[in-house]
Structure 1
Amino acid sequence: MIEEIRISDLGVIGAADVRLGRGLTVLTGETGAGKTMVLTALALLLGGKADPATVRTGASSAAVEGRVVLAAGHPALERAAEAGGAVDDDGSLLLVRTVGAAGEGGSGRSRAFVGGRSVPQAVLAELAETLVTVHGQADQARLRSPAHQRAALDEFAGPDHARTLRAYRDAWAERARVRAERAELVERAQDRSREAELLRLGLAEVERVDPQPGEDVELGAEEGRLAHAEELRVAAVTAHDALAGDTDSGSGLVSAADLVEQARRALEHVGTHDPALAELATRVGEAGYVLADAAAELVSYASDLQADPRRLEVVNQRRAELATLTRAYGKDVAEVLEWSRTASLRLLELEGGDQRIEELDVQLAELDARLTELAGAVSAARSAAAERLAKTVSAELAGLAMAGARVEVVVQPAAEPGPHGADEVEMLLVPHAGAPARPLGKGASGGELSRVMLALEVALAERAGADRPATFVFDEVDAGVGGKAAVEVGRRLAALARDAQVLVVTHLAQVAAFADHHLVVSKSTRGGVDVVTASDVRSVTDDERVRELARMLSGQDDSDSARAHAAELLELSGMGR
């Protein structure tokens, strides 16, 4: 239940505190007094679109606060907790919406808060689905829509039908996905064939060359040795002679090994006198061993190194083959091998395209059979519910001063199945006995649509019970209605309010007389500008209420006859409950 709505700087409203109670609450006032802004404020709290133009002139922003009281376990409380909002100990939840003014000095942006936590606007809209059902003159227009009529019938059909319909929609969406995948596979079959052929050629070339991991690096090193064999041999011999001396030439040159050995003996000779020199003598000796090993290896290297033009040619030819692969499939052999691995997997995927199409065909056949079965169940449930709904709404119309009127709900096969089933739903109205049945979208007047919508809402509320939101808002649902019909509309709204909170904006005294709570919105003038202040939204009772009803009846609240008529309406409404 909505407990209160606080509004600041929205349209003509400077500040207002609208307190709502259980039962039927009516909101009345002169045209332009600000009743519409109250509904605009409620729409903002329910996640509606924010319009910076609604911010009061001169204000930087408008704000709306709403407090709703809900029973433990209510879906709105659970959703608020998911969004991080806090719920008061008494089960009340605070909703806030702010709208910045457009232009200089204002951001034009909207912000939403749930339980003190900033949330996206969509969260408020989600909460609204479980909190409030709003009906206005725009809903009368939607009632002419076959889609709206179908949705109303589906809602009336109950939870079992809703589950079946949801299963149908899920299957329909899955079939659409499968068909799209199949169409893409068929459309791209030629592209896949070309890609597969290119992959086969590349993999065949890699298989023919058969590169080995690290082979390009090893061959590069070998090519360097073979191409410069003589230069390498001369360098090795020269280095050996410098380290170990050239014993064959008899040149008498002192080698590095001889010099190191002299240094070792000199240090070792005096090492007994100083441990430091003894340690250095050991290290110099180790250096001599290293030089001796290096000299031996250089001898071996020089003796093994031979120019081999034929091997060099083989190495160059192999490197050329590898270079061809790396130019096409990677910067080195490692990348070529990785390309080969991924290409093999991709080729398997491409070659499996035809098999995938066959699998999808099987899946489509299963989904078509599933959809046919579910569509039959949906149609059967709709047909059964259509008869019950027609009787229920027709009975409501009789109580709304439309004696002899009845509604027919027709369910017939659609030309093609769609996401909502295989049916077309149409509501027909017989406005009076002997009149032909005509579609709501063509033959019903505004007043008749108002009453049909109210009758339908009552039927849905009674059918769904606790599954429906506990608050209903009607914006001039009595448009085009007067006289006895207006009295009956008020009576039916009061009956609906026995088990729900109902807020009605009305211009009709006949409707307002049935309210449990009567709020009047008026305007003040400050500095030549119209404004609604906190004192301009007031609850009226007793004599004040009689005066307001008299004003609604005749435009004059001091007319004795109007006041007498107003008092009579109040008495009538009390007896009619």
Structure 2
Amino acid sequence: MLRGLDIRDMLIIDRLELSFAPGLNVLTGETGAGKSILLDALGFVLGWRGRAELVRAGAEQGEVTAEFALEAGHPAQAVLEEAGIPASDELILRRVNTADGRKTAWVNDRRVSGEVLRALSDVLVELHGQQDDRGLLNPRGHRELLDEFGGIDTAPARAAWRARRVAAVALEEARAAQAALAAEEEFLRHAAGELTKLDPQPGEEAELDARRRLMQAASRIREDIRRAHQALGPEGAEGMLSDASRWLDGAAEAAEGRLDGPLEALSRAVDALGEAEQGVADALDALSHDPRELEAAEERLFAIRGLARKHGVAPDELAALAAELSAKLETLDAGEGGIATLEKAARAAEAAYEAAADRLTEARARAAAKLDRAMGAELAPLKMERAVFTTQIEPGEPGPEGVDAVTFTVATNPGAPAGPLNKIASGGELSRFLLALKVCLTRHATGLTMIFDEIDRGVGGATADAVGRRLAALAREGQVLVVTHSPQVAAMAAHHWRVEKRVAKGQTLSTVTPLDAPSRVDELARMLAGETVTEEARAAARALLAG
């Protein structure tokens, strides 16, 4: 509920403090007195888009502060929490507009953006007039309004829509992947066949290269090693040492010990020579290879390197490439079965969405019948008992909120064709239709301040009285602010202010005065009689106030 509005240096207001209360609050005054300026100021502090030039001439800046009282669980508290602002039962909005156009806003002394202000305004205030600022005349919003009226939960349909979309995307991606694989099937099968036949292993290329180099080197050095082995053998050093040892051993006894040392050294030499000969023999064996083995190693090495160049990978990555190509072929071969599974899932998701959409359609049909009955009951007191309001539900484009296109239509006379509100109803009729809609659609709204800007324009007499009574009934459940030129509507107010202009020091300023009982009589008499207020007009005003 709006408790107070403080306006400083905005348009033709220098300083104005207003205190509002629950129930029906009415603002009256001459045309051009500044009633719309109050709404401009309130819209400014709520972040609405409005006039570009708001600062009063000669002032450095304009400022508007609005104070709201929040009941427990008010939707504004969720907005505050999301914005990181501590929530309480009091909400103070303040916004400043400098002369050069800069705007700055605070919520409970926390600096905020215009987006936060507008999010709060959506749950704090609802402005309504013949221009239908909230969108009652725009069919694009009718479905949402019907859902709000009927308490219809669209979450299951939204979840089904998302699941449908996910399933459709998965199927589309699988089909695209299958098509891409099919396009390169010939290459895949040829390449995978080559790799499978060769079966390259990680590290094999380096091992083959080392073996090849060793075998190539063996061909060059093996002859020298063979000659060395021959020189060390029985026909070479080994035979000569054996002869020397035999000859010295035969002469040792006669040499009286002089040959013992040489014999021992010769024995050690024979042992070392044997080790050398064995090592050379082992080397000869190791370097022995079949020429065909070298040829085979070179062929495999060249084959591995050739495939690596062909596929643009390192030789050690060929095994991983082979596995990847094989996996693609498996996917291709199994693709039809996988796509069939995804198609089944997509059909199931589509069926689930259609079922959820059908339930929404049924719920909306019930809500539409209920709204049409409620509107019939509201139109009768507004002197429109012959008018027919109909909520049309037709097939529309599928979406997260179902498949229904909802339009509010009216027929103002029996037998006349129904049509959209803003095309069928006249100005006075439109006001009453919109008021009836407002009463029906906000019947269960709590904590919302509703503002009606001259919604009674174009009606008078008994019809204006009926409009005033509906506004008063609506205000019993909360807070309603009405800008009006109708004395019948003003007479229903629980709180009444008069807006008027005055000239001070050569400047035109707007003031707002709360009216007591005698002042209300005078104001209603002015509204009834015009500039010259007569006693007859005052008597009529007292009659209006008496109800």
TM tier, smaller: 0.7 to 0.9
Look up the SS of the partner of 2:67 in the other structure: strand
Q: Which structure has the larger Rg over C-alpha atoms?
A: 2
Deviation track 1:357-391 (CA, whole Å, cap 9, x = no partner) reads: 42343234334444454444444433433333233
Q: Does 1:569 align with 2:538?
A: no
Q: Residues 424 and 87 of structure 1: is their aligned pair in 2 closer, same or farther, counting only changes over 3 Å?
A: closer
Q: Could you tell me whether the CA contact under 8 Å between 1:45 and 1:96 is conserved in 2?
A: yes
1:436 aligned residue: 416
Deviation track 1:517-544 (CA, whole Å, cap 9, x = no partner) reads: 2334445668866565xxx344333444
Q: Does 1:95 align with 2:93?
A: yes
Q: Report the Cα offset of residue 348 of structure 1.
A: 5.2
Q: Report the Cα offset of residue 400 of structure 1.
A: 1.8
Q: Residues 217 and 406 of structure 1: is their aligned pair in 2 closer, same or farther, counting only changes over 3 Å?
A: same
Q: Report the Cα offset of residue 500 of structure 1.
A: 0.7
* 1:65-76 equivalence runs, <5 A: 65-76=65-76
2:472 aligned residue: 494
Instruction: Find the aligned partners of 2:37 and 2:55 in 1 and give their Cα distance.
Output: 10
Q: Report the Cα offset of residue 139 of structure 1.
A: 2.0
Instruction: Find the aligned partners of 1:142 and 1:126 in 2 and give their Cα distance.
Output: 17
Q: Report the Cα offset of residue 185 of structure 1.
A: 4.8
Q: Report the Cα offset of residue 477 of structure 1.
A: 1.5
Q: Report the Cα offset of residue 232 of structure 1.
A: 10
* 1:356-505 equivalence runs, <5 A: 356-402=338-384, 404-411=385-392, 414=395, 420-421=401-402, 423=404, 425-431=406-412, 434=414, 436=416, 438-439=418-419, 440-462=421-443, 465=444, 467-505=445-483
1:5 aligned residue: 5
1:541 aligned residue: 516
2:533 aligned residue: 560
2:130 aligned residue: 137
Instruction: Find the aligned partners of 1:77 and 1:351 in 2 and give their Cα distance.
Output: 57
Look up the SS of the partner of 1:139 in the other structure: coil
1:269 aligned residue: none
Instruction: Find the aligned partners of 2:105 and 2:321 in 1 and give their Cα distance.
Output: 52
Q: Residues 171 and 44 of structure 1: is their aligned pair in 2 closer, same or farther, counting only changes over 3 Å?
A: farther
2:92 maps to a residue whose letter is L
2:132 maps to a residue whose letter is D
Instruction: Find the aligned partners of 1:345 and 1:530 in 2 and give their Cα distance.
Output: 84
Q: Report the Cα offset of residue 41 of structure 1.
A: 4.1
Instruction: Find the aligned partners of 1:356 and 1:480 in 2 and give their Cα distance.
Output: 67
TM-score if structure 1 supplies the norm length? 0.70
Q: Report the Cα offset of residue 195 of structure 1.
A: 4.6
Q: Report the Cα offset of residue 498 of structure 1.
A: 0.8
Q: Residues 543 and 199 of structure 1: is their aligned pair in 2 closer, same or farther, counting only changes over 3 Å?
A: farther
Q: Could you tell me whether the CA contact under 8 Å between 1:397 and 1:452 is conserved in 2?
A: yes
2:516 maps to a residue whose letter is T
Instruction: Find the aligned partners of 1:147 and 1:469 in 2 and give their Cα distance.
Output: 25
1:438 maps to a residue whose letter is A
2:78 aligned residue: 78
1:486 maps to a residue whose letter is A
Look up the SS of the partner of 2:442 in the other structure: helix
1:207 aligned residue: 196
2:541 maps to a residue whose letter is L
Deviation track 1:128-154 (CA, whole Å, cap 9, x = no partner) reads: 443333323332894444444444433
Q: Could you tell me whether the CA contact under 8 Å between 1:407 and 1:427 is conserved in 2?
A: no
Instruction: Find the aligned partners of 1:481 and 1:313 in 2 and give their Cα distance.
Output: 109
Deviation track 1:389-410 (CA, whole Å, cap 9, x = no partner) reads: 23322222222233x3232325
Look up the SS of the partner of 2:131 in the other structure: helix
Deviation track 1:153-184 (CA, whole Å, cap 9, x = no partner) reads: 33332x2xx12x44234434543554455456
TM-score if structure 2 supplies the norm length? 0.73
Q: Residues 525 and 299 of structure 1: is their aligned pair in 2 closer, same or farther, counting only changes over 3 Å?
A: farther
Runs (5+) with no aligned partner, structure 2: 223-236, 238-278
Q: Residues 447 and 205 of structure 1: is their aligned pair in 2 closer, same or farther, counting only changes over 3 Å?
A: farther
Instruction: Find the aligned partners of 1:80 and 1:20 in 2 and give their Cα distance.
Output: 23
Q: Which shows bigger deviation, 508-517 or 329-338?
A: 329-338
Q: Does 1:324 align with 2:311?
A: no
Q: Residues 555 and 334 of structure 1: is their aligned pair in 2 closer, same or farther, counting only changes over 3 Å?
A: farther
Q: Report the Cα offset of residue 492 of structure 1.
A: 1.3
Q: Report the Cα offset of residue 200 of structure 1.
A: 4.4
Runs (5+) with no aligned partner, structure 1: 234-247, 249-297
Deviation track 1:22-69 (CA, whole Å, cap 9, x = no partner) reads: 111223444445433433444455554477555666778765443321
2:395 maps to a residue whose letter is A
Q: Could you tell me whether the CA contact under 8 Å between 1:225 and 1:232 is conserved in 2?
A: no
Q: Report the Cα offset of residue 515 of structure 1.
A: 2.0
Q: Residues 470 and 302 of structure 1: is their aligned pair in 2 closer, same or farther, counting only changes over 3 Å?
A: same
Q: Residues 153 and 341 of structure 1: is their aligned pair in 2 closer, same or farther, counting only changes over 3 Å?
A: same
Q: Could you tell me whether the CA contact under 8 Å between 1:409 and 1:425 is conserved in 2?
A: no
1:572 maps to a residue whose letter is L
* 1:99-114 equivalence runs, <5 A: 113-114=106-107
Q: Does 1:168 align with 2:143?
A: no
1:539 maps to a residue whose letter is P
Instruction: Find the aligned partners of 2:507 and 2:200 in 1 and give their Cα distance.
Output: 89
Q: Report the Cα offset of residue 502 of structure 1.
A: 0.8
Q: Give aligned-pair identity as a percent.
A: 38
* 1:330-369 equivalence runs, <5 A: 331-340=313-322, 353-369=335-351
2:514 maps to a residue whose letter is S
Q: Report the Cα offset of residue 572 of structure 1.
A: 1.9
Q: Which shows bigger deviation, 53-62 or 377-386?
A: 53-62
Q: Could you tell me whether the CA contact under 8 Å between 2:529 and 2:537 is conserved in 1?
A: no
Q: Could you tell me whether the CA contact under 8 Å between 1:216 and 1:332 is conserved in 2?
A: no
Instruction: Find the aligned partners of 1:530 and 1:140 in 2 and give their Cα distance.
Output: 29
Q: Could you tell me whether the CA contact under 8 Å between 2:67 and 2:91 is conserved in 1?
A: yes
Look up the SS of the partner of 2:38 in the other structure: helix
Instruction: Find the aligned partners of 1:232 and 1:569 in 2 and give their Cα distance.
Output: 132
Instruction: Find the aligned partners of 2:211 and 2:504 in 1 and give their Cα distance.
Output: 99
Instruction: Find the aligned partners of 2:115 and 2:16 in 1 and give their Cα distance.
Output: 26
Instruction: Find the aligned partners of 1:475 and 1:509 in 2 and give their Cα distance.
Output: 15
2:428 maps to a residue whose letter is G
Counterpart among 504, 515, 533 of residue 493 in structure 2: 515
Q: Provide the aligned length of Structure 1 versus Structure 2.
A: 493
Q: Residues 169 and 445 of structure 1: is their aligned pair in 2 closer, same or farther, counting only changes over 3 Å?
A: farther
Q: Residues 421 and 62 of structure 1: is their aligned pair in 2 closer, same or farther, counting only changes over 3 Å?
A: same
Instruction: Find the aligned partners of 1:220 and 1:564 in 2 and give their Cα distance.
Output: 121
